[in-house]
Each structure stands twice: as structure tokens, then as C-alpha cells.
Amino acid sequence: MGMKSIRVGRLAGIPIGVQPLWIVIVALITWSLGAVYYPDLVDGIGPLAAYGLGLLSALLLFASILLHELGHAVVARRNGVEIEEIDLWLLGGVARMAGYPKTAAAELRFAIAGPAVTLLIAAIFAAIAAALPSSSPAALRALVDYQAFVNLAILVFNLLPAFPLDGGRVARALIWGRIGDVERATAIAASIGRGFGFGMIALGIAGTLLGAVGGIWLALIGLFVIAAAKAEERGLHVRVAFTGREAGRLMSSPAITIPADLNVAAAVENYFVRYRHTAFPVTGDDGLVGLVNLEAVGRVPAARRAETPVGQIAIDDPALVIDQHQDVAELLERPAFQRVGRAVVSAPGRELGIVSITDVNQVMRALDLASAA
Ligand SMILES: [Zn+2]
């Protein structure tokens, strides 16, 4: 999802983000529960209590989804994959990985961890519902029933074998384990996902024509599932193509570097405008200082650019300095590289090189042409 999420805090050291649309969803759930669900089930409930319970239910749902994603995150970590961020959006959450599971068994454990947490939450609420004495307040009963139901619904929906849903990952891991070829397994899982996507669109359109309110949503989800299947296939294709390819073979060298004491205004004129790259290595007396890109330049107020040395705004991130033997597939997974789009290849006593996302895309096009021939 391209939309920028809002950071709301950290859990177990993992940043938690919320897509702006999620807040709309919480409001919609609060509204529908407060206007219909609670008044239907609780005799004589006032609007304030009904909407209050609606909001509480929506927030409990939010917490359930967060726990589901934490389940994924904890298992990913145990398998050596870091989680960059947990993002809550329209359909639930996404634990964004920096890297990927290396074996079918690890992928299966990762994929199943979230649904396992959701199953546990649904079971706990169902057990509470069963244990509640008949004399307990109707509002409490309705609250517990809703959590049991909604977690069960999340579980069933998530297990549909369609990327980016967990069921798509489970399907891929199972096929991968059986045939031993992750790229073919992904292609098969993606085509199953596409089938589900088209099915959702057809059902959604039919539903809309018949007057069902949710039809348009189902069709949109179907479109999203088809796009996600494509992205999953593409991502893996690139990863496979660059595994075992070293940065030294891809880099442009010698890199055009900016001296650290040059001011930002001069750097814009003499480097960014002249060479039209989006980032340059910055070097001082002791060698590499960091990388400077257009975003870093943009953050310096125009009036201060003539007096600010480039060295002062260079990004000094060890993730962006690699040696020539660096595996490019692994580089592509680095969040810093995805953000900046360039990394410096540095070797003692040799001139600096640079690997850019543009180089990677060009190589990818050449490899695709070669394999299509
Ligand atoms: Zn999940």
C-alpha cells in the first residue's frame, strides 16, 4: 500500500503505524455498532452507552489485529527476519519484513502464527461467552459475542488462499515444501490468488447489481488481491534474479563524489543539475562521509544553502555502504536502500562505486529480455 501510515507507538520494539483510512474504519465500526448492534441486543440502552460500547468494541478489534500481527512478528524474528513496521490498514494489518523467510518451513511458521493468535483470541472470547451466567448484563454478553464473532471472521477471511492474506502464504509454503522451487510455488499460489480475486470481483459486481451494499467492497478487495499476487510474483522474481549477483558487477565506478566542504547551493548546480543523479557519495579528507540525496538537500532552507556544507547533511548509514561482494538481492531488502535508492561500494585503496535502483531495474530488463529470447 502506497499510502503513508501514521506512527502511533512501539510494541516489542516494533514501530506501529496506522493508515489514515483505518481511522475511518474504526469510526464506521463504532457507528454501525452504536446505531444498530447494541440497541438491537440491549433493551433500553441509551445512545451514549451504545456508541461508547461501539467504540470500545472497535478498539478491542484493533488490539486483536495488533496481536495477530505481533504473532507474525515474533515468529519472523525467531527465524532471523526483522520486522520493520506493523501497519494497520483497511483489511487488517501487515507486518512488513526486512528480508524474507529462507525455507518453506520458516515461511509456513511465519504465515500460520498470526491466524493461530486470532484463533486463540476467538476461543478465549467464546469460552467467556459460554461461561457467562444467564444473569449477566446483556451489554457484556453482546460485547463478548461480538469479539468472538469478529475474530472468527478475521480468521476465516485471512485463511483464504490469496496474497496478501495469510492463506496465500500458507499455500505458497506448502507448495514450496512439496516441489522445492520457491519461484514456481509462488507462481502457482499467485494464480490461485488471482482466481480468488476474479471470483471476488464477479461476486461483488453481481451483488451490487442485486442491491447488496457490500458488493462494491468485495470487488475492490478482489482488485487488490489480484494486484498483490502480481507484486508478490514480481518481488520474488527480482529477488531470485539478483541472488548471488555481487554489487561489484553492477556498480558504476568511479562514482562522481561531492567534496564534504562544498556548500549545498553549489552542489545542486554543479552535481545534481549537471549529472542528474538523485544521490551522490560525499567524501572528506578521511574518505567517505556519507550519501547526500535530493531529499536531504530539500530539507535545507533555500536561504541557508550557500553556507551549509554538504558534509553536514550527508546521510551516514552503514546499511548504505557495502563492499563489492555484497549480494544484491540482500541489498534490495534493506529498508535504507529502498528509501534512498543508492548504496556506495567501498573498498580500501580503490575508487568508490555506486549501485542505484536505476541500475538494478536496467539489469532486470536485460535479464528478462535474455530469458524471453
Ligand atoms: Zn496475518
The DSSP result for 129-145, as a single string, is HHHS-TTS-HHHHHHHH
Question: Is pLDDT of 189 > 70?
Answer: yes
Mean pLDDT of 188-211: 91
In the reported structure, the alpha carbon of residue 162 is separated from the centroid of ligand 1 by a whole-number distance in angstroms of 12
Spatial neighbors of 251 by CB under 8 A, at least 6 apart, are: 324, 345, 353, 354, 355, 359
Domains of the chain, start order? 6-242 (no CATH), 247-372 (3.10.580.10)
Residue 83 β-bridge partners: 97
Tell me if 199 sits within 8 A of 233, measured CB to CB: no
DSSP secondary-structure letter at 320? Answer: G
Question: Is pLDDT of 154 > 50?
Answer: yes
- Which of 63, 24, 68, 56 shows the shortest CA–CA distance to 142? 56
Handedness of CA 250, 255, 261, 265 (dihedral sign): negative
Mean pLDDT of 344-367: 84
In this structure, what C-alpha cell is assigned to residue 200?
471476488
Handedness of CA 251, 254, 260, 261 (dihedral sign): negative
Spatial neighbors of 331 by CB under 8 A, at least 6 apart, are: 247, 322, 337, 343, 355
Q: What is the pLDDT of residues 1-46, one digit of tens each?
A: 345 677 778 887 788 888 787 788 889 889 989 988 899 888 888 8
In the reported structure, the alpha carbon of residue 72 is separated from the centroid of ligand 1 by a whole-number distance in angstroms of 7
Whole-number Å distance between alpha carbons of 275 and 269: 9
List for the chain the helix, strand, coil content (%; round to 5). 60, 15, 25
In the reported structure, the alpha carbon of residue 302 is separated from the centroid of ligand 1 by a whole-number distance in angstroms of 45
| Residue 181 main-chain phi, psi, to 5 deg | -125, 105
In the reported structure, the alpha carbon of residue 73 is separated from the centroid of ligand 1 by a whole-number distance in angstroms of 10
Exposed, middle or buried by CB within 10 Å (0-12, 13-18, 19+), for 115?
buried
Mean pLDDT of 134-155: 91
Question: Is pLDDT of 163 > 60?
Answer: yes
pLDDT at 2: 46
Mean pLDDT of 63-68: 90
At residue 99 the predicted structure's pLDDT band, cuts being 50, 70 and 90, is: low
The pLDDT mean for the chain works out to: 86
> Is 69 tagged catalytic?
yes
In this structure, what C-alpha cell is assigned to residue 153?
471472521
Tell me if 356 sits within 8 A of 331, measured CB to CB: no
pLDDT at 90: 59
Which of the residue ranges 88-92, 166-170, 236-240 would you say has the lowest mean pLDDT? Answer: 88-92
| Residue 96 main-chain phi, psi, to 5 deg | -85, 120
Q: What is the pLDDT of residues 205-254, one digit of tens each?
A: 999 898 877 788 888 888 888 888 888 888 888 888 888 888 888 888 88
In this structure, what C-alpha cell is assigned to residue 321?
555502504
Which of the residue ranges 53-62, 76-85, 128-137, 337-346 would you say has the lowest mean pLDDT? Answer: 76-85
Q: What is the pLDDT of residues 264-323, one digit of tens each?
A: 999 999 999 998 888 898 988 888 888 898 888 899 998 899 999 999 988 888 888 888
The proportion of the chain whose per-residue pLDDT surpasses 70, expressed as a percent, equals 95
pLDDT at 1: 39
pLDDT at 11: 80
In this structure, what C-alpha cell is assigned to residue 232?
508478490
Strand order in the sheet with 258-259: 258-259, 279-284, 287-293
Tell me if 300 sits within 8 A of 290, measured CB to CB: no
pLDDT at 367: 82
Segment (H or E) for 92: strand 92-98
Tell me how many degrees the CA angle 69-70-75 measures, rounded to the nearest 5: 105
Strand order in the sheet with 82-89: 6-11, 14-18, 82-89, 92-98
| Residue 138 main-chain phi, psi, to 5 deg | -60, -35
Output the CA torsion 52→57→61→63 (10° steps). Answer: 60
Strands (E), 183-327: 258-259, 279-284, 287-293, 321-322
DSSP secondary-structure letter at 98? Answer: E
pLDDT at 93: 67
| Residue 336 main-chain phi, psi, to 5 deg | -65, -40
The proportion of the chain whose per-residue pLDDT surpasses 90, expressed as a percent, equals 30
Spatial neighbors of 353 by CB under 8 A, at least 6 apart, are: 247, 248, 251, 252, 253, 254, 255, 324, 344, 345, 346
In the reported structure, the alpha carbon of residue 88 is separated from the centroid of ligand 1 by a whole-number distance in angstroms of 11
Segment (H or E) for 239: helix 215-242
In the reported structure, the alpha carbon of residue 70 is separated from the centroid of ligand 1 by a whole-number distance in angstroms of 9
Mean pLDDT of 77-91: 74
Output the CA torsion 226→231→234→240 (10° steps). Answer: -120
